[in-house]
Structure 1
Amino acid sequence: MNKKLIALSVMAAATTMAHAQSSVTLYGRIDNGVQYETGLPGGNKFSAQSGDWGCSWFGLLGSEDLGGGTKAVFQLEGQLNTMTGASAGNLFGRHATVGFSNDRFGLFKMGNLGAGELAQDSWGADPQLMQRYAISTLVRGRNWTSTSNGAEYDSPTLFGGLVIKGQYSLTNNTSWNSAPVNAQGVPTGQGRTNAIEGIYTWGSGDFRVIYDEVRGADGSFNNVYSASRSILAGGTYVIGPVKIYAGYQHLSAPSATNASMGVTDASQPA
């Protein structure tokens, strides 16, 4: 068997040169809350949890000046359950990227884009900033999509206020569009994702359009809430002390069936 490997590696090193300026910022958020909910299937309840308004996280954001207006950059970010002290998922499941930035040419990064999948930029048109009770609740968390094994390019500001973003994830699988396979050779998890976004900011307002695709394990769009095409348009406008939000989202899953949506046919026994 012959194998060929063509690889491109991007690495940010902490080497300090005479002209270089480097920085590393530790950041994070801790959110613990107590709540009372009514109308639940089992009745009403008091509860305490981490991430009552929004999830808790910590991260490292770093840059190294390479000269000529170019910087090597990295970001590592993980989610915490601050009620128990446990990591909520993988250590750096939210972000683990490295890349280059330049004021003239923009930003390129690759790695685990995690919580940076472009659908999550819908926070910009969401009065609740994509927290627990927000527009994502209406679409069962479709806007919380994550993606890994990918790359992203962000343009510099164009035409006085326009920024374009694009993402593409590689499934690391030999079957186009599908997810990596398990030990039995069956695709599992999430398939390929790709997205493009345009954001225009002016004066007291901003407007954004996001188109993204998330495929299921078999490479199809078979669940409107997890493996589908999405287009979202929305924005904000500030009038004195008031900020107005407006937006529209459409989801499409042409390969969805009752079975893929977890629905039992009326003619079939439950």
Structure 2
Amino acid sequence: MKNVFLGVLIGACSFAGATARAQNSVTLYGVADAGFDFLSQVQTGVGTTASRLRAESSDFGASRFGLLGKEDLGGALAVIFNLESGTNLMSGTAGSSGGRLFSRKALVGLNSEQYGRLQMGRNLFIANDQWDADPMVQQAYSSTALVRSRNVPITSNNIEYQSPSIGGFSAHVQYALGNQAGAFNSGATGEAGRSDGVQLTYKNSLFMLRGMYDELRDSSGRMSNVFTSSREFFVGANLYVNAFTLQAAYTHLSAPDTPAGLARSADHYWLGGQYRPTPALTLNGAVYYIHVGSGAGDATHDPSGHATMFATGATYSLSKRTLLYATVAHVRNASGSNFSVVNNNPGLNNDNLDNPLPGRSQTGGYIGINHSF
């Protein structure tokens, strides 16, 4: 597999160099992100915890590389493709690949300057579009933490359309097939079932408003866990005032197929902003709050409860492509809740060791460097 992978990459880079000089193009791009992080209240056994300091990749942004291609068909119409794989800089391994050569994106489509973009393949699920309404821009400690990664999944078999901006308005629609015979809503083992979403955005120089509805199903075609397979209603707003960006959002999650007696709804709020005192320096901070509705929990479901997370950070750009970053966060859990500053799995499963013990607070921080190429 390694030799095949290297052969594909070397061949693609050679092709990129040859075609970049022609009218059409293939571009090799990526992000390299590495640093150190600290996390308190990491579980080390039954009822015991300790702090951890480690070297880590992708705290600020996912380390990745990809190929972006375009063939001009004339009349402002082009064929496009995008292949993108995650990677872990500390180990040199593929990041959460599940055996995929291109784990994050593998798609092809048509792009029209007048009519928008239609594309098919594997891609970030539509919920990822919340990133620019998040003061912490969906880095490791951000809006992803208290919803257990519900707003950053990746789905296969997508068909999606993104409109151009018309008078400040734009739309994004996505539909992911499960591809299973005799079970239209189901997906392959370990994959999402049929999932879909629609998003509307209005943006001008003063503010942005965004509304979104999506459905993420499990491999059985059910919405059975509020943080992994559920319905989502999202509304977010940005206000741009000189060097300040003020940001607020609300999300309601519901999982109607959750087993009886377990919590099946949650409400997530955040408020914060960004401040750019100089072109190179950005300061950001936010408060996030989650409330899980009535019901019990188990190994993979969170029980009724609530938590509040405070996060703040800074980035300093050394150039257009390289920045230094530092972020700290603290989460306070109500009795029975075990939310982390990191977007770990829900429930009391003993594999979720980065979650604090129920009712405990947790503090984390990281520093690093992020380079785009």
201, 212, 215: which is aligned to 1:213?
215
Distance 1:149 1:251 in 2: 23
Q: What SS is found at the alignment partner of 1:29?
A: strand
Alpha-carbon shift at residue 209 of structure 1 (Å) = 1.1
In structure 1, stretches of 5+ residues that fail to align are 1-13, 181-186, 266-270
Distance 1:191 1:239 in 2: 42
Select the structure that is richer in strand.
2
252, 259, 262: which is aligned to 2:300?
262
The amino acid that maps onto 1:23 is S
Aligned to 1:163: 170
Indicate if the aligned counterparts of 2:211 and 2:234 stay in contact, CA closer than 8 A: yes
Distance 1:234 1:38 in 2: 31
Aligned to 1:3: none
Aligned to 1:99: 109
Alpha-carbon shift at residue 61 of structure 1 (Å) = 1.1
Change in Cα spacing, 1:132 to 1:261, as seen in structure 2 (3 Å) is same
Aligned to 1:11: none
Alpha-carbon shift at residue 263 of structure 1 (Å) = 5.4
Aligned to 2:51: 44
Aligned residues: 239
Shift >6 Å, 4+ stretches: none
Alpha-carbon shift at residue 204 of structure 1 (Å) = 2.5
Whether 2:145 is the aligned partner of 1:137: answer yes
Aligned to 1:232: 234
Distance 1:169 1:37 in 2: 36
Distance 1:189 1:99 in 2: 23
In structure 2, stretches of 5+ residues that fail to align are 1-15, 44-48, 263-296, 304-373
Q: What SS is found at the alignment partner of 1:123?
A: helix
Aligned to 2:75: 68
The amino acid that maps onto 1:91 is L
Aligned to 2:119: 109
Change in Cα spacing, 1:252 to 1:60, as seen in structure 2 (3 Å) is same
CA RMSD, aligned part only?
Answer: 2.1
Describe the superposition over 1:11-32 as per-residue Cα deviations: whole angstroms up to 9, x where unpaired: xxx9x9xxx8312222111111
What percentage of aligned pairs have identical amino acids?
Answer: 38
87, 96, 99: which is aligned to 1:80?
87
Alpha-carbon shift at residue 235 of structure 1 (Å) = 2.0
Distance 2:94 2:301 in 1: 33
Distance 1:226 1:68 in 2: 43
Alpha-carbon shift at residue 124 of structure 1 (Å) = 1.6
Distance 1:150 1:179 in 2: 13
Indicate if the aligned counterparts of 1:222 and 1:261 stay in contact, CA closer than 8 A: no
Distance 1:223 1:156 in 2: 34
Alpha-carbon shift at residue 253 of structure 1 (Å) = 0.3
Q: What SS is found at the alignment partner of 2:131?
A: helix
Structure with the bigger RCO (C-alpha within 8 Å, sep 6+) is 2
Describe the superposition over 1:82-112 as per-residue Cα deviations: whole angstroms up to 9, x where unpaired: 1111112122111111010111111000011
Alpha-carbon shift at residue 165 of structure 1 (Å) = 0.7
The amino acid that maps onto 1:62 is G
Alpha-carbon shift at residue 55 of structure 1 (Å) = 1.6
Change in Cα spacing, 1:198 to 1:260, as seen in structure 2 (3 Å) is farther
Whether 2:130 is the aligned partner of 1:122: answer yes
TM (norm. structure 1) is: 0.83
Indicate if the aligned counterparts of 1:222 and 1:260 stay in contact, CA closer than 8 A: no
Aligned to 2:156: 148
Change in Cα spacing, 1:61 to 1:189, as seen in structure 2 (3 Å) is closer
Indicate if the aligned counterparts of 2:205 and 2:240 stay in contact, CA closer than 8 A: no
Aligned to 1:179: 187
Indicate if the aligned counterparts of 1:171 and 1:191 stay in contact, CA closer than 8 A: yes
Alpha-carbon shift at residue 40 of structure 1 (Å) = 2.4
Alpha-carbon shift at residue 212 of structure 1 (Å) = 0.8
The amino acid that maps onto 2:116 is G
